Amino acid sequence: MNHVKISAYVHKADGKTISVKPILKPIEEKLTSIGFSLDPKTHNYMYETKDKNDKATIFEKLRDLNVAFASGREWSPAEVFEYLRESGLVGGSFVRISWRNQNDYYFSDNQ
């Protein structure tokens, strides 16, 4: 599935802050249009959620912008998406990004 054009990925989303790492430059303007702001220290785009419903709305917008959700340990963004979907707050599939090592990643669809 590495042929998918992913524009960015959600790096962190276990608390109130959603952190997105851009991959393709055009995504930056789209992220700011939905309320994200650039953190000049990390070069990530940040969004402070108000509650679970707000997080769910932003997750769906990110998914629709071809943003992947990172997998990992504990409450990874992919696990948060699955939790919101099981809670009925988001619907549909999303793309998960996982790493074998620092430079070797792959995508998978999560139905």
pLDDT tens-digit readout, 40-86: 999 999 999 999 999 999 999 999 999 999 998 788 999 999 999 99
- Give the domain extent around 39: 8-110
As a whole number of Å, the end-to-end CA separation of the chain is 14
2 falls within a domain: no
3 falls within a domain: no
Going by pLDDT thresholds of 50, 70 and 90, the confidence category of residue 3 is low
pTM: predicted TM-score of the whole model, two decimal places: 0.89
Map residue 99 onto helix, strand or coil. strand
**Nearest alpha-carbon partner for 12 in 56, 75, 101, 62:** 75
**Nearest alpha-carbon partner for 46 in 73, 11, 74, 75:** 11
Once rounded to an integer, what is the mean pLDDT over residues 87-110? 86
Number of domains in the chain: 1
51 falls within a domain: yes
pLDDT of residue 101: 82
